[in-house]
Structure 1
């Protein structure tokens, strides 16, 4: 059994800070769960152009308000507490935060923990994952 507390993880190397967001990675690849689980804060007025080409992601909004734009269709969906979105087609999208948003995120395959977005708005796969 693995037990972690968000407040403890935020103080250590599990918290990654980048432009417009931070993410505390509570479950990672080396936990051998088949997914990673993160609590991510999207900062007020952030506009993130994302395209997870190598991962599927599910995102549940815990607090805050914003929107997600599907770049394939042009549809814009409101994000508010109680909303989940699933990027099941490696969807290219723009995430906008009108106020700070707290999100619970699940990635498959799991992240190792130090990833930040590349120029395409994606997380890279490790060389081990590409071989497997």
Structure 2
């Protein structure tokens, strides 16, 4: 059994802070669960371009408000507490937190990340070297 407290993650190597988000990584690849689990803050008034080409992600908003714009669909969806979205097609997207509040999200990744990943120039995390990439069956990613 694995038991962790968020307060024990804060300020450690598993607390990854960037200009637009802060990901507190609760479960990682080394934990052997087959997925990773993150408590993530999307900072107020920010926009982050993200394209998880090698991972699928499910996200559940527990605090704050914002929006996700899915590039391929040219569609924007509002996010508020109680909203879940799943990027099951490796969708390229913009994630925005409204300027008056941070958004707090619970995020699950498959395959699991190792812990120190940050977005590359495409907005992606690198694939795990010993795991095959997730294929969504969707083509046309340029």
TM-score scaled to structure 2, two decimals?
0.89
- Which residue in 1 is equivalent to 2:73? 73
Using the TM superposition, give the Cα deviation of residue 18 of structure 1 relative to its aligned residue in structure 2, in angstroms: 1.2
Give me the CA root mean square deviation: 1.2
- Which residue in 2 is equivalent to 1:114? 116
Using the TM superposition, give the Cα deviation of residue 11 of structure 1 relative to its aligned residue in structure 2, in angstroms: 2.7
The secondary structure found in structure 1 opposite 2:61 is strand
Using the TM superposition, give the Cα deviation of residue 93 of structure 1 relative to its aligned residue in structure 2, in angstroms: 0.5
- Give ranges in structure 2 of 5+ residues lacking alignment: 134-142
Q: Which runs of 4+ in 1 moved over 2 A?
A: 126-131
Asked whether the 8 Å contact 2:111–2:128 carries over to 1, the reply is no
Asked whether the 8 Å contact 2:113–2:128 carries over to 1, the reply is no
Give the structure with the higher percent helix. Answer: 1
CA separation in 1, counterparts of 2:112 and 2:129? 14
